[in-house]
Each structure stands twice: as C-alpha cells, then as structure tokens.
Amino acid sequence: MLKASARVFARGRMRDESGAAAVEFALVFPMLILVLFGIIEFGAMYNAQLMITGAAREGARSMAISGDPVTAKLDTLEAATGVSLAAAEVSFSRATCAIGQDVSVVITHKQHFLTGMFGATVDLTGKATRRCNG
C-alpha cells in the first residue's frame, strides 16, 4: 500500500508542470530581445559606416579630378545617402591638388543609435586617398 501512494504522489506531481514552458519563456525572452536589438543596431551602424566610407571615396575622387575643395565637399555630402553629414565633418589633407600628389579625405561622424539601448552615439570614421590627376 505504501508503494501505491508513492505512485499517486508522483503522478500528481508530473501533471503539475503545465506552466513550466511559460516560466522558461519568461526567463529567456529578455535575452532574445537584447540579441534582436543588438543585431538591428549592428546592421544600422555597419550600413552607416559603409555610406561614410563610400562618401570619402567619392570626395577623394572628386578632389583628384577637379582639384576644387568646394566641389569635392559638395560631392562628398551628396554621396552620403542615409547619413546626415555636416560640412564640418569632412576634411581634406590638401587645399589644392597638384598632379602627382596624393589627397586624403577624412570624415568623422557621430552616429546615433536607433534604440538607445547601447549608448547614445558611436564615432564613425571614413578615410580615402587618391592620386591627383589635374
């Protein structure tokens, strides 16, 4: 008889695990959300970095061809689609571009995070160098 009561107790206890999945999900859900937002933020920052690097290449190309820093800065700002660059964030290594010299463009930009979970901003830098063709 003692064995029968132990079986009944064990069966009753087995049936009482109906909320275990909900508790486990509640424990894992915040980590899943953190990973999801991390992936979104990383993708947005990576995209902004690619845009800034591409804009620096375009600015260096424009400066190497035209030799005019005003035109090159405008071309740089136009090439940064999706990123709000200011003219003060773009700098050139030379004011003029003589044949045979190298000109470098450096863009330093503070990009804001989308969610704010990982801080307020991150510093992004885009660099490019071209030989002046005149």
Each of the 134 residues of the chain gets a pLDDT tens digit; together they read 556 555 555 555 556 677 888 899 999 999 999 999 999 999 999 999 999 999 999 999 999 998 889 999 999 999 998 899 999 999 999 888 888 899 999 999 999 988 877 788 899 999 999 999 86
Q: Give the separation between CA 59 and CA 62, rounded to whole angstroms.
A: 5
Kindly state whether residue 13 falls inside one of the protein's structural domains: no
- In this prediction the pTM is 0.76
Report whether 61 contacts 130 (CB < 8 A): yes
Q: Give the separation between CA 37 and CA 117, rounded to whole angstroms.
A: 8
Provide the domain limits for residue 67. 22-131
Residue reference for tokens 């190497």: 64
Residue reference for tokens 């063709």: 133
Task: Provide the greatest CA pair distance for the chain.
Answer: 103
Kindly state whether residue 40 falls inside one of the protein's structural domains: yes
**Residue 87 DSSP label:** G
Q: Give the count of domains, the chain.
A: 1
Kindly state whether residue 3 falls inside one of the protein's structural domains: no
